[in-house]
Structure 1
Amino acid sequence: MPNIDPTARVVNPAGLAEDVEVGPFCVIGPDVVLKAGVKLVSHVNVQGATTIGARTIVHPFASLGTPPQSVHYKGEPTELQLGEDCVIREHATANIGTAGGSGVTRIGNGVMMMTGSHVGHDCSVGNNVIFANNAVLGGHVSVGDFTFLGGQCAVHQFTRIGPQCMISGLTGVREDVIPFGNVLGQAGKLVGLNVIGMKRRGFTKSDLHAARAVYRELFFGEGTFDTRLEKVREQVESSPFAAAVVSFIDADRKRPICQPSRGVTRED
């Protein structure tokens, strides 16, 4: 049966797997589901219709599944789904969704949320994403797999961040970021590609050369952005990078695409 410290409070009918560990002074709400091997170290608050995936570890004073920080929320039944093998550090927070959004906040597998990081309502976070200290997402944000969010960065609501991006510390992200993008600055701008992350994911020198060529064409070529996008579109059959970028842009054009600062003439 679950190992529950006598100082913890678990409200029935919360569903706890047989080998779950609930440490001192944790509070678990009645609609919570903790999968096999989950460990709540101590002083953890889990509420709402929250599911925590297998082998995830949650550290002291984290708060998961609390109501969304939205004036439109009126207590509708919504959810938080947290994946397997995640590490949630001290004071990290994640809210359930809203009826006006997707109704579900989703955090993938292998995610690390460092101290003070936050996932807002209706967000969708991919697998193996890392939040450095105090990195925060507004509501309805989507983040692709293997993205790194630097310390104290802030992502505006409804913004999309593609897979394998690097968001530098202290960066404010207000525009959609293409896959593999590297964003820097108080009003975040592209400063190139996340080359380090791409190498870690197995990109070869020739792959990187081809990706840089597509990047230069899209952001520094002649004509309007839409004209340059059509030129990149011609390369989707031969370039996986071009295919990923075009697919990302085509999926949703509601928000502008994050671009390099004016005056920048090349990809560093």
Structure 2
Amino acid sequence: MPAFIHPSAHVAAGAEIGAGCRIGPGCVVSAEAVLEPGVELMAHVVLDGRVRLGAGAKIFPFATIGLAPQDLKYKGEPTGVSIGARTQVREHATIHRGSTGGDGMTRIGADGLVMCVAHVGHDCQIGDGVILVNNVMLAGHVTIGDFAVVQGGAAIQQFVRIGRMAMIAGMSGVERNVLPYGRVKGFRAKHAGLNTIAMRRRLGLSKDQVVTVAHAVHDLYRGGRPDEVAGTLAASYPDNPIVAEILAFARNRGRHGLVPFGRAGEEEEGGEAA
């Protein structure tokens, strides 16, 4: 199936356009762009520099992908952006290319959704099935695991790591790492429980299994510094891969350590998306 390119679109010589792609009016596609089969650029989309879009990705009007990072150290090095298959990028979202401070690539996995006016900073590494709701702001070098959800208006500090299936509440300010399956909220985000709905729906865990994981997280926080406690806590939860994943994440303190534990009364069950 041949590609369709609107007469008003500007596709630079050298761009690789796969079968069945649709490039709508007013789009600008760089010479280094690669569009795998079935990609759709609806209208007025800008792809700048080394951008690769996976098969079936759909980019909505006025989104910009691959523009230079907002990093004063960047001097025009040949860095880029990679977006996985079937991911949707909605109106006015901005996704910046990587920098030499990382490995040169900003990555978003397959089957994700970047909603309107969200910003993905340079060198972010985002897994499969991640949802970034309207107006989310990711600083540079943020890492987000598979199927995590960042709700509207949340801001994530640079170099923060968010574990898979974590839930970030809307308008939260996340300055430290978030455990896999964790749920955080607040202007200065704190751990507020587990994303239990995702754990039950995606992993098929029973209520008792979820409670066991919750006890392990409580023990992790209440035993001292989580990165130090994690090494000794594993023996208390043998043959539990979910707890093992959480403890392995906690052992890697990175630049920021974990978000603090929330106050009593902040641990209600929740997590609307799974």
TM range (shorter): over 0.9
Change (3 A) 1:217 1:164: same
1:26: how far off? 0.5
The letter of the residue matching 1:36 is P
Q: Which runs of 5+ in 2 are unaligned?
A: 269-274
1:224: how far off? 4.9
- Alignment-derived partner of residue 264 in structure 1: 264
- Alignment-derived partner of residue 211 in structure 1: 213
Alpha-carbon distance in structure 1 between the residues aligned to 2:120 and 2:144: 11
Moved more, 201-210 or 117-126: 201-210
Moved more, 184-193 or 195-204: 195-204
CA offset digits 1:29-81 (Å, max 9, x no partner): 11000000000111111111000000011000000011111000000001100
- Alignment-derived partner of residue 138 in structure 1: 139
Alpha-carbon distance in structure 2 between the residues aligned to 1:90 and 1:150: 17
Change (3 A) 1:46 1:193: same
CA contact (8 A) 1:14 1:32 kept: yes
- Alignment-derived partner of residue 237 in structure 1: 238
SS of 1:216's partner is helix
CA offset digits 1:135-171 (Å, max 9, x no partner): 1110001000000000000000000000000000000
- Alignment-derived partner of residue 18 in structure 1: 19
1:264: how far off? 3.0
Change (3 A) 1:185 1:77: same
- Alignment-derived partner of residue 271 in structure 2: none
- Alignment-derived partner of residue 34 in structure 2: 33
Alpha-carbon distance in structure 2 between the residues aligned to 1:265 and 1:27: 51
Q: How does 1:141-220 map to 2 (within 5 A)?
A: 141-201=142-202, 202-220=204-222
CA contact (8 A) 1:55 1:84 kept: yes
Alpha-carbon distance in structure 1 between the residues aligned to 2:3 and 2:86: 18
SS of 2:248's partner is helix
Alpha-carbon distance in structure 1 between the residues aligned to 2:37 and 2:134: 27
SS of 1:213's partner is helix
Alpha-carbon distance in structure 1 between the residues aligned to 2:224 and 2:191: 19
Alpha-carbon distance in structure 2 between the residues aligned to 1:155 and 1:224: 22
- Alignment-derived partner of residue 57 in structure 2: 56
SS of 1:234's partner is helix
How many matched pairs?
Answer: 266
The letter of the residue matching 2:158 is Q
Alpha-carbon distance in structure 2 between the residues aligned to 1:224 and 1:118: 32
CA contact (8 A) 2:227 2:251 kept: no
Alpha-carbon distance in structure 2 between the residues aligned to 1:73 and 1:177: 29
Moved more, 148-157 or 100-109: 100-109
RMSD in angstroms over aligned alpha carbons? 1.6
CA offset digits 1:98-124 (Å, max 9, x no partner): 012121111000010000011110110
Seq. identity, %: 37
Alpha-carbon distance in structure 2 between the residues aligned to 1:187 and 1:266: 14
The letter of the residue matching 1:212 is A
1:173: how far off? 0.3
CA contact (8 A) 2:228 2:251 kept: no
1:242: how far off? 1.6
Q: Which runs of 5+ in 1 are unaligned?
A: none
CA offset digits 1:211-233 (Å, max 9, x no partner): 1111121123x455456434422
Alpha-carbon distance in structure 1 between the residues aligned to 2:146 and 2:245: 13
TM-score, structure 1 normalization: 0.94
TM-score, structure 2 normalization: 0.92
- Alignment-derived partner of residue 125 in structure 2: 124
Alpha-carbon distance in structure 2 between the residues aligned to 1:226 and 1:183: 18
Change (3 A) 1:231 1:121: same
1:237: how far off? 3.4
Change (3 A) 1:266 1:114: closer
Alpha-carbon distance in structure 2 between the residues aligned to 1:88 and 1:224: 38
